[in-house]
Amino acid sequence: MSVIVVGGRKNEAVCPSCGAPVDGQPRRPRARAFWIGVVIVAALMAVTFGFMVLAVSATAKHEAATSTAGLVSRAEFSINVRDKTMDQVRALLGPPTYTQSGGARSYWYYDRRTYDFETGKPDRSAQVAFEYLTVESVNFR
């Protein structure tokens, strides 16, 4: 920088290429433009976060509706109760949701314990049919 007298003022710095007076301080970006940028970035982040929350929520609802966690396949359920007595089935599965009986046959129903392996969908209930106190068959609805 060189010192010259411009308009009667001494010791004022000038631009070496054009000769215009310079105050000696580097220029800062405009505050307004900076804050507009901050607001735009914050808005984009909020929208992105919102979409992520919605996606996770929808996925969680879908998984809860079609989840097989805690359920056993129809085949596994059938194998576990095959040729068991009523007492053995109760010890293995706990008390049934509801029962029906008539003559030598009894039916025990276990709600939401099994799923269809082929479709991955939970069954509404599993019916254990007893004849003369031993499991005769298992059916699924």
Per-run averaged pLDDT (10 residues), the chain, 141 residues: 52 71 62 86 88 76 68 95 95 95 94 93 95 95 92
On whether both 36 and 82 belong to a single domain, the answer is: no
pTM exceeds 0.85, yes or no: no
What is the identity of the amino acid at 94? G
Beta partners for residue 85, in sequence order: 134
Contact 140, 134 (CB under 8 A): no
**Residue at a domain's end among 14, 40, 66:** 66
- Predicted confidence at residue 23, as pLDDT, reads 67
The enclosing domain of 91 has a CATH number of: 3.30.1450.10
Encode burial over 34-60: b for 16+ CB neighbours within 10 A, e otherwise: eeeeeeeeeeeeeeeeeeeeeeeeeee
Instruction: Give the model's pLDDT for residue 4.
Output: 52
Residue 20's nearest CA partner among 28, 9, 12 is 12
Q: What pLDDT does 136 receive?
A: 96
Q: In the prediction, which pLDDT does 69 show?
A: 81
